[in-house]
Amino acid sequence: MRLRVALALCLACASLLDAHAAEPAPRRVFIAGDSTASAYGPERAPRQGWGMQLQSFLDPKAWSVRNHAQSGRSARSFIEQGWLDGIDRDLQRGDVLLVQFGHNDAKVEDPTRYNEPREAFPAWLMRYVALARERGATPILVTPVARRKFDRGQLLDTHGLYTQSVRDLAARERIALIDLNTRSMDWLRALGDEPSKHFFMHVPEARSPTEAQADDTHLRDAGAVVVACFVVDEWKTIDPALSSSVVRDTDCRAE
């Protein structure tokens, strides 16, 4: 009798192990980008890049976020400084690669980062696209998130030619596009100058005295949630099947 019970328990355990082994590994989404997407340690709180909040919208059993974004990088310097190498090592068929640059590419005073918007910038972006396509992954270009820059109540478009360059490249090369610049500009206009400060690094309570107190480029925690929501919502338009793996509302209300 004891032998039969032991055998039954062994069979049950084996079945559970087989079922667990049969579960597919989560798909992976990689992020190549700049400081508006990158991760920060607790000492920089409440500063966050939108890439830090992306996983909170995705079922971890279905998707795993690999955030390789780095502060201060342009499409060019991200590659030349070796930050693409980690993605190159791991990227494989079925993965998704989100590529968001433009903030630092416009810094004409820095030749290590500057990219002329009509030719050099799209040429560097194509390096990411080519890598993804070579590996059987899906590249998605992401226009840069808007700066919170108002002049007499009017929101200014600070990324102009770079945003349009990404749009033109996506159309020309038939690359999926998340127009985060348009989505975030519409959001900022709707909020207005003063209310929108709550979502950027206008933080008198910052822990470090060296932390910028009136930063209109970088997001704080609340802003990172909203912008990550925009990314997921637009991604669902590209791939409707993603909806089944989304675990938070994507109405993206700025509450």
Give the residue numbers marked as catalytic: 35, 211, 218
219 pairs with which residues across the strands?
200
Q: How far apart are CA 203 and CA 44, in angstroms?
A: 11
Per the CB < 8 A criterion, the answer to whether 160 and 182 are in contact is no
Q: Count CB neighbours of 72 within 10 A.
A: 15
- Give the residue from 228, 227, 221 showing the smallest Cα distance to 198: 221
Q: How far apart are CA 99 and CA 33, in angstroms?
A: 6
